[in-house]
Amino acid sequence: MAITPEIDAWLLENGFQLGLNPHGKHPLILSAQQGRTDVLTYLLEQGADLTALDAYGNNALWAACFAEAGDCIGLLLEAGIDINYQNPSGASALTYASSSGKHAVVKQLLEAGADPLLSTQDDFSALDLAANRQCLQLLRSAVKALQV
């Protein structure tokens, strides 16, 4: 994919001339957080660093989950981002999505192979932190499937 005027404008508007912008944000993470599949696709094709982290130690997958940007989540997973990456407190994208009640994201991550048994430093799993019935049911089913 060649850089389009829209992608070039987005990069310039967000201060991404070289690497991080003046606010310390990584373009891969910001584009995922904004649900910009066009920019994300371009960055991935340019070899963007899938291990890039924000100031809180979260990766681009977390940012895409925050935005509930299913297409961005899919692009990042297809590119090989670590689906089970845990931030400094031990929370994975699945843990975050579950604790935020984002059941469509929980479903997408589980279908892609996210580990529902990972726990935080406080020993809470995504199941323990499920914010709503849909997340709870999805995670219960996933954990049961692992026990069979």
Residue 43: which H helix or E strand, with range?
Answer: helix 37-45
pLDDT of residue 73: 98
What stretches in the chain show pLDDT beneath 70?
A: 1-2, 16-24
pLDDT of res. 23: 55
Residue 118, pLDDT score: 97
CATH, range 86-148 = 1.25.40
**CB contact set of 83 (below 8 Å; sequence gap of 6+):** 61, 77, 92, 93, 94, 109, 112, 113, 114, 115
**Tokens (6 digits) for 124:** 């809470």
pLDDT at residue number 76 = 98
Radius of gyration of the chain (CA): 16
pLDDT value of position 1: 63
Q: What is the pLDDT of residue 22?
A: 52
Dist CA 73 CA 8 (whole Å): 22
Q: Do 59 and 52 meet the contact criterion of CB atoms below 8 Å apart? A: yes
Top CATH class, 1-82: mainly alpha
Domain ranges of the chain: 1-82, 86-148
Q: What is the pLDDT of residue 6?
A: 85
Q: Mind listing the pLDDT tens digit for each residue in 51-78? A: 999 999 999 999 999 999 999 999 999 9
- What is the residue-averaged pLDDT of the chain? 91
What pLDDT does residue 145 have?
A: 93
Q: Do domains 1-82 and 86-148 have the same CATH topology?
A: yes
Helix, strand, coil in percent for the chain, rounding step 5: 50, 0, 50
Task: State residue 8's pLDDT score.
Answer: 74
Give the predicted TM-score (pTM) of the model: 0.86
